[in-house]
Structure 1
Amino acid sequence: MLRPELIEFSQDNQKAELRIVPSLHGPITEDDLRQLLALPDFSCLGPLQAAITQAVIQVNQLHPKDEGKIELFFEIGERRDAEISFDVSSDKMQASMILTAAFGGKDLGLRDVLRNLKLQRISMGLSKAKIDALLTEFATLLPGIKCHGIIANGRAAVNGTSAKLDRKVSLARERLLQPQQNSDGTVDMRNLGAVIMVKPGNLLIVKHPATQGVDGYNVYGEKLNAKPGKDIKFTAGNGTEFSPDDPNQLIATVAGQPVETPSGMQVDDVLQIKNVDVGFGHVDFKGSVLITGDVGEGMVVKSQGDITVMGFVDSATLEAKGDITVSKGIIGRQLKDLSLSTKLTAQGQISAQFVQYSQLNALGNILVTKQLLHSHTKTEQQLIVSDASGRRGDLVGGKAEANKGIKAVALGATADTKTEVFCAMELTDLKEQLKQLDQSIKSMVVAGLNIEAQLRKLPPKTQWQGDAMMVEQVTVMLDEKRRISAIRAQEELEYDTLKMEVDNYYKHYYIDARKHVFSNVELHIGTAFQRTQREHGPCRIRNQNKEINFDYSH
């Protein structure tokens, strides 16, 4: 080991100086110099690695040549103050603090931490407990050792929830799924209970308003704006009014049948008829129509509300602004021109137990609880061919189209009946809507920036605040900026919702067969197509990578 007197403090007591004669003390190693720095007086100093390496090289080069005339001088250690640094995540939502223990220099305390946080502009989401814990750990560290930990977290913005309408009364269509229970516990599938009626004062529907959301912030205190929830129209239809105690509650003002509308409900007068036949004539009524018997061949029934038929519909035409509910069956025939004799069109839902050789078109769901045979059905929503238990429901023959998916107990038949099934065919249209929304949002961003640029060019307020015309112009610009900002926020919310639907389109919309898919069923899901060649068991059928995929795990 080298003699201790070769190392001493510099005059300012900040560094360790090595004075060495190569011929007397060489050759040396880096470990020799580190042992000198390990002496009690110098152990608190930080080694200067580059100087240590250079000292070893120079001493060893001169050792065999020098005759004791040359003394070399090196600074191989120094005092270093404790160090503090911060690491902020790329999204500015998290900040970590790194503390390095001092080499004989100045230590750090809470005041130093706070001063450095201020210099780095880290001001929000700080945890005093985490800072104190890190300082406590730091106090136990050996010189040069580091400790680190998260000391600040931003708060993400919480977007508002969209408004929704919560219906409090049942509708006629729901009776199909709620057969009445007999006193002995059995269920009478033919007894669907009383017709749904309401009285004045009955609560019909409650609106849960959209929320604004909660703004967030990052660790620099920069505001993260929450997107407000999307509002929806809530209107009082005929026979209803908003509650005087709560404008978000809609109540009935007359007795009648509740009918769901796109923005609320209405209560219709109910025209009650035993049978619609040649003896009664066609029906065109502004309210809802209740037919306790059947609708006969060639008859036409039109309603501004719901149409409820307690019996059968046979080769007739029904049109409703609301729902069409047929408690028993819908029966038709194929005509010479290959069209079907029974036609039902509803802006709401269509529900029946049994459908045969009929054409059904609905904006809402189409629900058939037993059999859908050789018919043409088209819905903007779901086609469901199943009873409440999921044990019975056959979709056989014809053509079925449903934008939001198809659920049936069995598709096709053992006789290889040709059955065409279409779902999830709107992806191209949705992508076009998404593109248009994106363009609209970008145009509003540009418009907003233009207004901001005009506002920045204004002279100081003191120069124009007395000019009424100028004040009016500025007010108009500010109002327009707020209007654009509000529309942009709403469209951004719509964009996010639509993009999520597009991104997950084929995950959400598919064909569900609970028991069987027989052969000769033509499956169309978006651009994917396959005609079944064999029978399949219970499965979920999707468009996966533009091909029909059968998933039996469900």
Structure 2
Amino acid sequence: MLESSLASFSADKNQVELRIVPSTHGPVSEDDIKQLLTQKDFAMLCPMLANIEKACKEVNALCNQDAGKHELFFIIGERRDGKAEVTVSADKMVASMKITAAWGGKEISLTDVLNCLKSNKIKMGLSKPKIQALLSQLNFLPPGESSQNDIAQGKAPIHGTNARIERKVSLARERLLQPQEREDGTVDMRNLGAMIMVKPKDLLMEKKPATTGTPGYTVHGDVILQKPGQDKPMNPGDGTELDPKDPYRLIANVAGQPVETKTGMQVDDVLQIKDVDVRYGNVDFKGSILISGDVHEGMVVKASGDITVMGFVDSATLHAAGDVIVSKGIIGRQIKANELSTKITAEGQICAQFVQYSELTAKGNVLVTKQLLHSNTRSDLVITVSDQTARRGDLIGGQATAGHGIHAVIIGAKVGTKTELFCAMDQSELKNDLKAIDESVKSMVTAALEIEGRLNRLPPKNEWQNDAGMIEQVKMMLDQKNLIIEERFKEETEYASLQAEVENYYDKYFIKAAKQIFNNVDIRIGPAFNRTQREHGPCTVKNVNQEVAFNYTGR
């Protein structure tokens, strides 16, 4: 054990000095030297471990040599003030502080903490209770020990919600799904209830406007912009107006049949006809058409609104700017290899109980409640062949092409009738749109940087602040820059939405069979292809890694 007198304070009392003669006091161990620092006067000071290790080596190397007769000098301990350190998370949303207790020096105070926060530019989301709790730990921390806690939290932005439009009236197509109930509890598919009509001042639609959201901030006080909700237009069509007392309510201003449009509703005059045949002639009407009977072979019916047929359509042509609703069935026959005698086109939806040997083209959904047989059917959205209970609904033969999915109870037939399904074929187009938006955003970034560069190259403001022409030029540059930033933000929001659509495309859009898919059904989902070789039970069929994959329910 070394003599305690070998260690003493420096003149300023801030360090512990070791004065040792190797041949007299050596050899020594690091523990021998550390023991000197356990004396009462030095116990609160910080051991300088590297110096202690060096002293031990030098003393032991010289203790049996002539040079070891001379005194060596080392600093083995020192006072250290308490310390506060700040760490900020990578996303700048959390700031954490670590305080270290002093080694015989000045302890950390609230002022020190505030200065540390200031030097690290921590401005927002500070928690006074957490800071005080952290400082209170100094009452218990041994010298040199540390305590750490989060003391500032940023605020994430609250993104706005998109506008929503709620339709407040039923449409003609919904009558097909709501047959009248008889007294015995059964339903009468031939009685679909009264024609849906509205009168002036009736509420048609109500809009829940988009919200702007609120911005967030980082612990440094940098603003994190929120994404405002996207607006959805609700425009008055013919026979409608915005409520003078509430612009978010769309009301009727005439009596008639309500028809949904892409951006709102219209109220149509209704032309009522018993049958469309050679005696009545073809029909081209500005408004909606209600045919209480049938549309016969060779006839053409066009409407700027909905076409509702209470009976059958047989080898005829129907075109509606709204929906086509056929209460009973659509019947056709094959004229040539790729030509069918009945053609139905709708800007909205097509609904019927059963369809055979017909061409159906809809920008909206196609709904067939019983059977879709040997027809060529195309929908930008979803083709559904099912009743409300999902017990009946056969899609057999022909081609069915849908942008957003094909849902049926049974697909194909036991005898192996060839049936072709095309689903979710537009992802490549969406990718092209995504690429175009990305290029547009990059061009805006370049344009904004060019304007920023021009602004930075301006002479000092005091040289042009009285030049009206120069002031106008600078103002134009700033306005242009702000316009670019605003437009860029809109396109970046659109890019994020479209990117999510592309990434989730095949999860959202798929083929579903509630009961069975038979053999000889060609399935194309995007570029993936499969021809069924056997019967499949209830399943969903998706494109998984560019292959057709069957996912069976109940397994």
TM-score band, normalised by the shorter chain?
Answer: over 0.9
Give the superposition deviation at 1:197.
Answer: 1.2
1:412-447 per-residue CA deviation (whole Å, 9 max, x = no partner) reads 011111000000111111111111111111112222
Give secondary structure in 1 for the equivalent of 2:242.
strand
Amino acid at match of 1:123: K
Aligned to 2:88: 88
Amino acid at match of 1:44: M
Amino acid at match of 2:239: G
Q: Does 1:362 align with 2:362?
A: yes
Write out aligned runs for 1:309-320 (5 A): 309-320=309-320
- Answer with 475-484 or 122-131: which moved more: 475-484
Give the superposition deviation at 1:369.
Answer: 1.1
CA contact (8 A) 2:59 2:68 kept: no
Give secondary structure in 2 for the equivalent of 1:31.
helix
Write out aligned runs for 1:213-228 (5 A): 213-228=213-228
Amino acid at match of 1:277: D
- Answer with 104-113 or 180-189: which moved more: 180-189
- Cα distance in 1 for residues equivalent to 2:137 and 2:428: 59
- Cα distance in 2 for residues equivalent to 1:299 and 1:388: 32
- Cα distance in 1 for residues equivalent to 2:210 and 2:550: 39
Aligned to 2:381: 381
Amino acid at match of 2:476: V
- Cα distance in 1 for residues equivalent to 2:72 and 2:211: 77
- Cα distance in 1 for residues equivalent to 2:74 and 2:336: 110
1:189-209 per-residue CA deviation (whole Å, 9 max, x = no partner) reads 443222211111111112222
Amino acid at match of 1:378: R
Give the superposition deviation at 1:477.
Answer: 3.1
Give the superposition deviation at 1:342.
Answer: 0.6
Aligned to 2:546: 546
Question: Number of paired residues?
Answer: 554
CA contact (8 A) 2:101 2:144 kept: yes
Q: 1:166 to 1:482 in 2, by over 3 A?
A: farther
Give the superposition deviation at 1:121.
Answer: 0.8
After superposition, the CA RMSD in angstroms is 1.8
Give the superposition deviation at 1:314.
Answer: 0.9
Q: Does 1:45 align with 2:70?
A: no
**How does the TM-score come out when normalised to structure 1?**
0.96
Give secondary structure in 2 for the equivalent of 1:335.
strand
Q: Does 1:390 align with 2:390?
A: yes
- Cα distance in 2 for residues equivalent to 1:264 and 1:479: 35
CA contact (8 A) 1:229 1:493 kept: no
CA contact (8 A) 2:28 2:59 kept: yes
Write out aligned runs for 1:96-175 (5 A): 96-175=96-175
Amino acid at match of 2:287: G
1:359-413 per-residue CA deviation (whole Å, 9 max, x = no partner) reads 0001011111111111000111111111112221111100000011111111101
Amino acid at match of 2:81: D
- Answer with 451-460 or 79-88: which moved more: 451-460
Give secondary structure in 1 for the equivalent of 2:56.
helix
Give the superposition deviation at 1:466.
Answer: 5.1
- Answer with 307-316 or 523-532: which moved more: 307-316
Aligned to 1:28: 28
- Cα distance in 2 for residues equivalent to 1:210 and 1:455: 36
Give the superposition deviation at 1:21.
Answer: 2.4
Give the superposition deviation at 1:545.
Answer: 1.3
Aligned to 2:488: 488
Write out aligned runs for 1:467-486 (5 A): 467-486=467-486
- Cα distance in 1 for residues equivalent to 2:25 and 2:440: 81
Aligned to 2:249: 249
Give secondary structure in 2 for the equivalent of 1:495.
helix
Amino acid at match of 1:275: D
Give the superposition deviation at 1:450.
Answer: 2.5
- Cα distance in 2 for residues equivalent to 1:431 and 1:93: 33
Give the superposition deviation at 1:66.
Answer: 5.2
Q: 1:462 to 1:33 in 2, by over 3 A?
A: closer
Q: 1:68 to 1:416 in 2, by over 3 A?
A: closer
CA contact (8 A) 1:161 1:212 kept: yes
- Cα distance in 2 for residues equivalent to 1:243 and 1:114: 57
CA contact (8 A) 2:62 2:68 kept: no
Q: 1:337 to 1:56 in 2, by over 3 A?
A: closer
Unpaired segments of 5 or more residues in structure 1? none
Q: Does 1:347 align with 2:347?
A: yes
- Cα distance in 2 for residues equivalent to 1:501 and 1:486: 23
Amino acid at match of 1:231: D
Give the superposition deviation at 1:331.
Answer: 0.8
Aligned to 2:437: 437
Aligned to 1:416: 416
- Cα distance in 2 for residues equivalent to 1:245 and 1:396: 52
CA contact (8 A) 1:228 1:489 kept: no
1:38-93 per-residue CA deviation (whole Å, 9 max, x = no partner) reads 22221111110111001111121222335983222211111111111111112212
CA contact (8 A) 2:283 2:302 kept: yes
CA contact (8 A) 1:370 1:386 kept: yes
Write out aligned runs for 1:291-310 (5 A): 291-310=291-310
Give secondary structure in 2 for the equivalent of 1:330.
strand
% of aligned pairs identical?
Answer: 60
Amino acid at match of 1:174: E
1:5-45 per-residue CA deviation (whole Å, 9 max, x = no partner) reads 22221111111112222233222111112222122221111
Give the superposition deviation at 1:211.
Answer: 2.2
Amino acid at match of 2:372: L
Q: 1:256 to 1:461 in 2, by over 3 A?
A: farther
Q: Does 1:233 align with 2:220?
A: no
